[in-house]
Structure 1
Amino acid sequence: MMKLWRKRASEAEASTASIVVDGARKSTGGRARTRVVMTMAVFFGIYATIAGRLVYLGFEDAEASSGPESRITASRPDIVDRNGEVLATDIKTASLFAEPRRIVDPNEVIEKLSLVLPDIQVEQTYHKLKSGAGFVWLRRQLTPKQQNDIMQLGIPGIGFRTEKRRFYPGGETAPHIVGLTNIDNKGISGLEKYIDDQGLADLQATGLAVATDLKPVRLSIDLRVQHIVRDEISRAMEKYHAIAAGAVVLNAKTGEVMAMASVPDYDPNNPYNAHDKDRLNRMSAGTYEMGSTIKSFTTAMALDSGKVTMESRFDASRPITIGRQTIRDFHGKGRVLTVPEVFIYSSNIGSAREADVVGIEGHREFLHRMGLLERMNTELPEVARPSEPKVWKKVHSITIAFGHGMSTTPLQTAVAAAALMNGGKLIDPTFLPRTQEQADAVAKQVIDPKTSENMRYLYRLNAEKGSGKRAEVPGYRVGGKTGTAEKVVNGRYSSTVRFNAFLAAFPMDDPQYIVLSIIDEPKPEKPGMGATSGLNAAPIVANIIRRSASLLGVKPEFSHESKATLASYQ
């Protein structure tokens, strides 16, 4: 019994010892696991903090680098001429930026960059590099060589971003028509601005201006003719020592501008001087007293009124005195003149008497009807508003009859002349292609077709026997009217400072095109020679027609040479 009790007691003690040891083991293992979990939690917390900080810094840098300064330039459609020749296109270019937070020594960066960019603005660049910003532009639109040279410098904290810039393959050929964009590829002048105003700017703002979706914008101009026009006016400006010159070729049937140029101009790929006052587009953005070219409209007005016929006569034997004004002829005949003689001799007295027949109100109404005194409606943004007397008196009507006292643009003078030649239809000019049907839909009948027929005869007669002889081009039946206007100097008209123009059409049996040239303050080509329109503006027109007529689809025809088709007077 005692032995049994001792055995059970011994087993109980062994069991108790086993339980104690097992409990100790469990207690020790639990504490170890707790320490491991706590250690892991600490490490996870540290890594989570680091990851969170990296994410925060990433978003901060993204915000800094996605602001307005670093915005990617938007795409623009190509601009092409009527034959598909590229006038403007987007090209990729590199722009230099810096991350000021990564710049250690701004002075060293500037010193190195100045080796490639000697014109860098040191103070402004220094402030940018010290700003602590995430992103700043240093130079937009680098040349490939500049980019390569800067890369060779190995400067930490600077980089390059690919942008788009506008490139004009024709250079100075058509800058006033095509226009310009700014550093962000936004249109700021010419047809570039017009395209933005038609919805491109909205597409760019919404990010929908994708290059692959933008179709080329086709213009009405012919690049070949455009080159000829600019070449001829540039030569004339140099030849006659003028301060400016210009010309336009206009389709008389549709109102399409086939070519237009004004010099001095600028290179759109480097337009540093584009805003100089002497480089404006004189053809549409400048207004001038157009001199005797306005006599075309005075004669047309008189004929269209029904009060004057081609057989009417006007006394030009003596000057007209009205108030302090005395109206004389430049080369007066001192006798009574017929309507054709008034025109081909460019009689100021005869033109004044033609206007007097119509009357002051009728005269003003006619010029407004012809669009000469209205602001021109066309795609080109640079359009000036004509000027006229606030209150017309008889003296105004008389002087305006021969081109003094009102100012208009050369382009709208050509547009109004087209109505004189095409059967009497005034058609707003366009720099975009236009079909004959579209032109007819917008045309306004402003004079009787019979008046137009008479004016075609007078234009051809003036080229054959009058002041327009130097505009003749064999085979192309040119007709036209000279205009030599005295410019105002110190408040008075100067007899030695002139603004000359020649207004022409061809071929005169059915005029297809109007050509108008202007030349500002020309000097005599040689000592002893004159400097009137017939001696300088008319030859410009002749040269343009001679070189471009075949390109415009006008075939030479010699059977009509030396024969003015006389219109019926009935």
Structure 2
Amino acid sequence: MAFLSRVMVLKSRAHFSAGSKRPGPSSGTFEGSRKRKASQARNRVAIIIACFIGFYCVIGGRLVVYAMREPEATSSIMPADRLLASRPDILDRNGEVLATDIRTVSLFAEPHKIVDADEVIEKLRTVLPDLDAKQIYHKLSSNSRFQWLRRQLTPKQQSEILALGIPGIGFRPEKRRFYPGGATAAHIVGYVNIDNRGVAGMERYIDSQGLADLAAVGMTSDQPLEPVRLSIDVRVQAILREVLMSAIQKFRAKGAGGVVLDANTGEVLAMASAPDFDPNDPAAGGEEGWLNRMSNGTFEMGSTFKSFTLAMALDSGKVNMNDSFDARYPIRIGGFTIKDFHGKGRFLTVPEVFQYSSNIGTAKMADVVGIDGHKEFLTKLGLLSRMKTELPEVATPSQPRTWKKINSITISFGHGVSTTPLQTAVAGAALVNGGRLIEPTFLPRSQVDAEAVSTPVIKKTTSDNMRWLFEWNGTQGSGKSALVEGFDVGGKTGTADKVINGRYNHDHNFNAFLAAFPIYKPKYVVLTFIDDPRSETDRAVLAGNSAAPMVKEIISRSAAILGVKPRFGENGSAMLVSY
């Protein structure tokens, strides 16, 4: 055997011999090593999981922070879906459109693409001459990437600006609110701002019912929405407004207002306040035009309040229709003298107190009931608290902090409490509809629904007596100038002295007329007022010569539209009037 081969054999034998003598590892040592390695593996996995959890917690936390942070004003443009978000059409009770959306465009600029701001302004003013050059220059010179220049352009304006070929100028589609009737129902319908959000009237009410919240979170779209139908009749509304505007011009008055109310359902068929405004351009109306005097203005309603005082006295059972009251002498109390404007100087029956509008007789009726009973009755009629209705613009009446006897006496004939004309009409409806107070509504309401929300406030017999008194005053008293042949109008005038420099001034009046027709079975209540009317001699005008004739014209022109059939002859037996 070769030498090298022998060496290799000997080495292998020596290695085998040494290996057989080395002690082997015990089973316990092997098991401990395995467990240690498994523990290390689990720790590594746990560390990896913890790292992932921490990483995603950081991401989640940042997302929450970004979600709660106010949006940065990087530009003044809204998302396209919000620019085109629809509002529901507003219709009258017969389906006539009072408010609708129309598509339009708005002009914007990208200042970083504008080379010469002065040249852009010069060109734009050839189409938009009223453009504010200083303001537009500031916008075009800014570092922003977007600026509105003019919202809601006409198609002609858009076409002319396109023809100018100005780089960095563009158009975005938008929705614009359009009111076909203009100012006809301005205070009822209201108006929207430049972003098509309701600001006043039923437009604001619609937003308060959830539309604004949906728009805020981007859940509105440009799809047509279900229209909102109102209770008003635009034909009657137009007549009412025309009568008011004519009266203001004729009597050089500061303002006027009126309402036509369904006496049995509380639906407002028409309501207007003048001066008013065009909701297509509300800024042009000014503050005087924005004020809704019917629901958001409070006034001392004068002798119309005598209707409530007589109803209170009769309903209490302490006074009946056959009673008489001494109206011979003025009442002196607390340094004041209460007297009658057209005093008769004798005892007056209850109908005569109403017919001659006796302050003395009315005050004595209130005294029979008492201060607490008087305040409780007016509260029950809703005349001392804020009226509940859909219209947002509703004022809270004012009354004395503490009612004393002098307060009860003056309030009995309409001085000392200021309330809104609309809630005066609502309380008047309760006097003639059988004694039920029904909250007014500007939305359609059925007779069944009205009965469900009505509240009995006086006895039916009291209501019957009040209808008779209204009819009596309409034919024999101050309401004669409101009579419309065939329609049996009854009502009560109210001439209240206005407070000038803290004192009542006899030369400045607030005149009102509260009426119902047909009075034998009232369907509608009509109330009109005129603020500070002047005669040709520049003297004050009484309600019988101003507010009552307004009611006459409204009823004569709208009764047929409202479906009221005239009656002629005794008990309506005659079908025609001879002429």
TM-score class, shorter-chain normalisation, is 0.7 to 0.9
2:163 is the alignment partner of 1:163: no
Candidates 337, 340, 347, aligned match of 1:329: 340
2:551 is the alignment partner of 1:541: yes
Matched residue, 2:482: 471
The alpha-carbon deviation at position 112 of structure 1 amounts to 1.2
Q: Describe how 1:21-100 pairs up with structure 2 within 5 A.
A: 68=78, 72-100=83-111
Q: Describe how 1:279-290 pairs up with structure 2 within 5 A.
A: 279-290=290-301
Seq. identity, % = 64
Q: Is the 8 A contact 2:259 2:422 kept in 1?
A: yes
The 1:470/1:561 distance shift into structure 2, 3 A limit, reads farther
1:259 and 1:67 map into 2 onto residues whose CA distance is 39
The alpha-carbon deviation at position 278 of structure 1 amounts to 5.2
1:534 and 1:500 map into 2 onto residues whose CA distance is 8
What SS is found at the alignment partner of 2:561? coil
What SS is found at the alignment partner of 2:103? strand
2:391 and 2:291 map into 1 onto residues whose CA distance is 13
1:191 and 1:560 map into 2 onto residues whose CA distance is 44
The alpha-carbon deviation at position 120 of structure 1 amounts to 1.5
Please list every run of at least 4 consecutive aligned residues from structure 1 whose deviation after the TM superposition is greater than 2 angstroms: 63-71, 205-213, 526-530, 559-563
Which stretch has the larger CA shift, 204-213 or 97-106?
204-213
1:528 and 1:184 map into 2 onto residues whose CA distance is 46
1:514 and 1:136 map into 2 onto residues whose CA distance is 53
The alpha-carbon deviation at position 205 of structure 1 amounts to 2.5
Matched residue, 1:27: none
The alpha-carbon deviation at position 383 of structure 1 amounts to 0.3
Q: Is the 8 A contact 1:89 1:168 kept in 2?
A: yes
Q: Describe how 1:180-329 pairs up with structure 2 within 5 A.
A: 180-277=191-288, 279-329=290-340
The alpha-carbon deviation at position 145 of structure 1 amounts to 2.2
1:372-422 residue CA offsets vs partner (Å, 9 max, x unmatched)? 011000000000000000000000000000000000000000000000000
The 1:107/1:530 distance shift into structure 2, 3 A limit, reads closer
Q: Is the 8 A contact 1:286 1:409 kept in 2?
A: yes
2:408 and 2:357 map into 1 onto residues whose CA distance is 17
Candidates 417, 427, 434, aligned match of 2:438: 427
The alpha-carbon deviation at position 225 of structure 1 amounts to 0.3
The 1:128/1:328 distance shift into structure 2, 3 A limit, reads same
2:157 is the alignment partner of 1:146: yes
1:176-203 residue CA offsets vs partner (Å, 9 max, x unmatched)? 0000101100001000000000011122
1:482-534 residue CA offsets vs partner (Å, 9 max, x unmatched)? 0000000011100100000000000011100000000000011x449861000
What SS is found at the alignment partner of 2:94? coil
Q: Is the 8 A contact 2:507 2:539 kept in 1?
A: no
1:318 and 1:69 map into 2 onto residues whose CA distance is 75
What SS is found at the alignment partner of 2:295? helix
1:67 and 1:550 map into 2 onto residues whose CA distance is 51
Which stretch has the larger CA shift, 109-118 or 404-413?
109-118
What SS is found at the alignment partner of 1:298? helix
2:562 is the alignment partner of 1:552: yes
Matched residue, 1:18: none
2:213 and 2:537 map into 1 onto residues whose CA distance is 58
2:266 and 2:322 map into 1 onto residues whose CA distance is 32
1:365 and 1:460 map into 2 onto residues whose CA distance is 27
Give unpaired runs (5+ residues) of structure 2.
1-72, 574-579
1:106 and 1:530 map into 2 onto residues whose CA distance is 60
Matched residue, 1:125: 136
1:146 and 1:232 map into 2 onto residues whose CA distance is 38
Give unpaired runs (5+ residues) of structure 1.
1-62, 564-570
1:66 and 1:380 map into 2 onto residues whose CA distance is 31
What SS is found at the alignment partner of 2:382? coil
Q: Is the 8 A contact 1:477 1:560 kept in 2?
A: no
Matched residue, 1:4: none
What SS is found at the alignment partner of 1:485? strand
Candidates 355, 373, 378, aligned match of 1:362: 373
The alpha-carbon deviation at position 323 of structure 1 amounts to 1.3
The alpha-carbon deviation at position 204 of structure 1 amounts to 1.8
RMSD value over aligned CA atoms?
1.7
Q: Is the 8 A contact 2:100 2:178 kept in 1?
A: yes
Q: Is the 8 A contact 2:508 2:540 kept in 1?
A: no
1:369 and 1:183 map into 2 onto residues whose CA distance is 42
Matched residue, 1:416: 427
The alpha-carbon deviation at position 206 of structure 1 amounts to 3.3
The alpha-carbon deviation at position 74 of structure 1 amounts to 2.2
